[in-house]
């Protein structure tokens, strides 16, 4: 089956899911303690303590703070247990310089003031703030947020949103403690605390009441939590059995198909017998593409030239000098190769390997050379597909595709309702089903026979006695050596003298005196023209996804 295409697609999808931070500095934030001391003038003096454990060398940490609309952040400072730390600030992103080595654990304290942190109404004053939002790219461990009123309070109310829901407790003096525990990256957690309005004489009161709004929000969140619990139980009772049953069916289908394909391969494999060159049923490049999982286009181009020489389409004038004898070709890919070598690189009638080197060293020619070789590869594959060596199984593949879509849906539902192990299993099964739907095209018995014969030939030629080689016809020798050159260059290099010694020196239909040199030229050309691209990324302050457009996050550099 065409495993490589399916696996490549699955790998592509997997890479898309890998977060960018996977390629950045590795660290864990194991503990976060945030304390907001509210003042009578409505400001809040915030102290944050972050404990970092690093797995790489580092230069410092980052903290993004996006203030709510109508508020501002002032007097940001940072220190560790020994000294004040240098801070750079730009657009809400604070870079705190504190370098260290792999394996270090550090604790950094951040201090800043929120201006306009408290809003006062007729029935109370509230502190409603997002210390991070969904733009945060770091996991937080053991997070605690404490909100302290300017004086002892007796009418404190509190409510947490997002990850902070149902985490609040109120002490005897009216202080609110939100014990969030572990918080995953990309989550939100707005915290809200209401105190007596009289505790904030420096804040101008607004019209309206706030405690009723908090009560309405609490009722709504509790109703949502109850509905979530009911739906979660439904997802468990229906989703888990569905994943298990469909997963068993899929795995059984894959195993059955694999066993069937393996049995066919064994049955079609040629038995051990006398060395022979298989019949001329395909061009050498197409054979190489079909029979070699590690097929290299550059080696295939050398083999293609030898195949064209065998057919009398190209004549060799010297070791690196070739002339065009006949433009009429059997396959489109042969015309593409002749066009590249003789018309683009050569003068229309002849070309040399030196011209190939000169042409591909010029960067202006790289796009055209790569486009031509890509077209050549495409046409080689077209010849392979024309032989129908792969079975379709359209119905079976569509069924697997539908199963993949069902598993994606089950993964989404499992993720929404916190069934994370089942979500992971659903994703794995969805990828398996998708890979099967895309890549399941088992090779026919005829295809296996052809593969077996040519692979056996390649193995035998590594130790082939000269007398067996001499018994082959000229056409058989040319096809065998061209195939060997394209599939096993090392063996071809060792056997080069055996082949060339048997050919008349003046035989214009013969092969290159040094075909390995020709392969080296095309390998170098392929390497030279291969484009490379570098990707880089940078941090941003955040998107302000919390209440009132505020938020933030943490990181390292």
- Cα–Cα distance for residue pair 518/56, rounded to 1 Å: 46
pLDDT attached to residue 545: 64
Q: Mean of the pLDDT values across residues 98-115?
A: 92
* Encoded tokens for 158: 């509190």
Q: What is the pLDDT of residue 498?
A: 56
DSSP letters of 341-404?
IIIIIS-SSEEEHHHHHHHHHSGGGHHHHHHHHHHHHHHHHHHHHHT--B---HHHHHHHHHHH
- Mapping DSSP onto H, E and C, the string for 298-323 reads HHHHHHHHHHHHHCCCEEEEECCEEE
- Is residue 284 within a helix (H) or strand (E), and if so which, with residue range? helix 284-291
The pLDDT of residue 128: 94
Beta bridge partners of 112: 46
For residue 541, pLDDT over 60 is answered with no
Q: Which stretch of DSSP H or E encloses residue 168?
A: strand 168-170
pLDDT at 222: 84
Banded pLDDT at 235 (limits 50, 70, 90): confident
- Residue 47 pLDDT: 96
Which of 289-303, 304-318, 439-453 shows the lowest per-residue confidence on average (mean pLDDT)? 289-303
Average pLDDT, the chain: 84
pLDDT higher than threshold 90 for residue 111: yes
pTM here is: 0.54
Q: Which of 89, 90, 66 is nearest to 78 (CA)?
A: 89
| pLDDT at 19 (0 to 100) | 44
Q: State the pLDDT at residue 53.
A: 92
pLDDT bin (cut points 50, 70, 90) of residue 543 is low
Please write the tens of the pLDDT for every residue from 483-528: 888 887 666 666 555 555 545 443 434 455 566 678 888 888 888 8
* Interval 1-58: pLDDT, tens: 444 444 444 444 544 454 444 446 888 999 999 999 999 999 999 999 999 999 889 8
> d(Cα 75, Cα 113) in Å, to the nearest integer?
6
Mean pLDDT of 369-373: 91
pLDDT at residue 314, rounded to an integer: 93
pLDDT at 15: 46
Dihedral, CA atoms, 323, 328, 330, 335, nearest 10 degrees?
60
pLDDT at 481: 85
Rounded to 5 degrees, what are φ and ψ at 141?
A: -110, 140
Answer yes or no: are the C-beta atoms of 406 and 246 closer than 8 Å: yes
Rounded Cα distance, 351 and 54, in Å: 59
For residues 243 and 403, the answer to whether their CB atoms sit within 8 Å is: no
pLDDT at 262 over 70: yes
**Which pLDDT does position 494 carry in this prediction?**
61
Q: Which residue has the higher pLDDT, 465 or 180?
A: 180
């Amino acid at each position: 089956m065409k495993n490589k295409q399916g696996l490549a697609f699955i790998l592509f999808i997997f890479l898309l899911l890998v977060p960018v931070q996977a390629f950045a500095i590795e660290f864990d934030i194991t503990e976060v303690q945030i304390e907001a001391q509210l003042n009578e003038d409505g400001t809040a003096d915030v102290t944050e303590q972050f404990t970092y454990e690093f797995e790489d060398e580092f230069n410092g940490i980052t903290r993004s703070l996006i203030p709510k609309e109508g508020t501002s952040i002032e007097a940001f400072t940072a220190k560790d247990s020994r000294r004040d730390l240098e801070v750079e600030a730009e657009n809400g992103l604070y870079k705190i310089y504190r370098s260290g080595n792999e394996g270090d654990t550090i604790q950094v304290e951040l201090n800043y003031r929120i201006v306009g942190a408290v809003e006062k109404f007729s029935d109370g004053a509230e502190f409603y703030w997002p210390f991070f939002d969904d733009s945060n790219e770091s996991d937080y461990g053991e997070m605690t947020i404490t909100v302290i009123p300017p004086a002892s309070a007796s009418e404190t109310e509190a409510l947490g949103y997002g990850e902070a829901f149902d985490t609040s407790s109120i002490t005897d003096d009216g202080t609110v403690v939100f014990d969030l525990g572990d918080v995953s990256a990309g989550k939100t957690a707005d915290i809200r605390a209401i105190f007596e309005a009289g505790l904030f004489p420096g804040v101008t009161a607004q019209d309206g009441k706030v405690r009723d709004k908090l009560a309405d929000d609490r009722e709504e969140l509790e109703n949502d939590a109850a509905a979530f619990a009911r739906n979660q139980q439904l997802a468990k009772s229906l989703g888990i059995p569905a994943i298990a049953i469909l997963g068993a069916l899929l795995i059984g289908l894959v195993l059955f198909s694999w066993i069937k394909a393996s049995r066919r391969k064994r049955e079609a494999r040629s038995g051990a017998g006398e060395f022979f060159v298989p019949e001329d049923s395909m061009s050498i490049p197409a054979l190489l593409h079909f029979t070699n999982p590690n097929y290299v286009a550059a080696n295939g181009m050398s083999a293609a030239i030898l195949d064209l020489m065998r057919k009398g389409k190209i004549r060799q004038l010297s070791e690196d000098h070739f002339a065009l004898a006949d433009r009429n070709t059997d396959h489109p890919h042969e015309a593409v190769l002749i066009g590249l070598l003789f018309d683009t690189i050569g003068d229309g009638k002849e070309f040399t390997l030196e011209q190939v080197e000169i042409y591909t060293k010029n960067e202006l020619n790289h796009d055209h050379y790569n486009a031509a070789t890509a077209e050549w590869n495409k046409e080689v594959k077209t010849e392979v597909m024309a032989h129908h060596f792969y079975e379709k199984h359209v119905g079976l593949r569509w069924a697997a595709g539908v199963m993949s879509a069902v598993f994606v849906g089950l993964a989404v539902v499992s993720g929404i309702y916190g069934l994370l192990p089942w979500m992971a299993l659903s994703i794995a099964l969805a990828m398996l089903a998708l890979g099967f739907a895309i890549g399941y095209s088992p090779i026919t018995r005829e295809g296996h026979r052809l593969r077996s014969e040519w692979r056996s030939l390649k193995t035998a030629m590594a130790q082939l006695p000269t007398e067996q080689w001499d018994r082959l016809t000229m056409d058989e020798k040319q096809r065998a050596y061209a195939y060997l050159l394209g599939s096993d260059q090392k063996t071809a290099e060792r056997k080069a003298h055996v082949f060339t010694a048997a050919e008349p020196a003046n035989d214009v239909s013969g092969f290159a005196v040094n075909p390995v040199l020709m392969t080296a030229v095309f390998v170098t050309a392929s390497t030279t023209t291969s484009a490379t691209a570098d990707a880089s990324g940078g941090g941003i302050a955040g998107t302000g996804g919390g209440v009132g457009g505020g938020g933030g996050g943490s990181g390292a550099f």
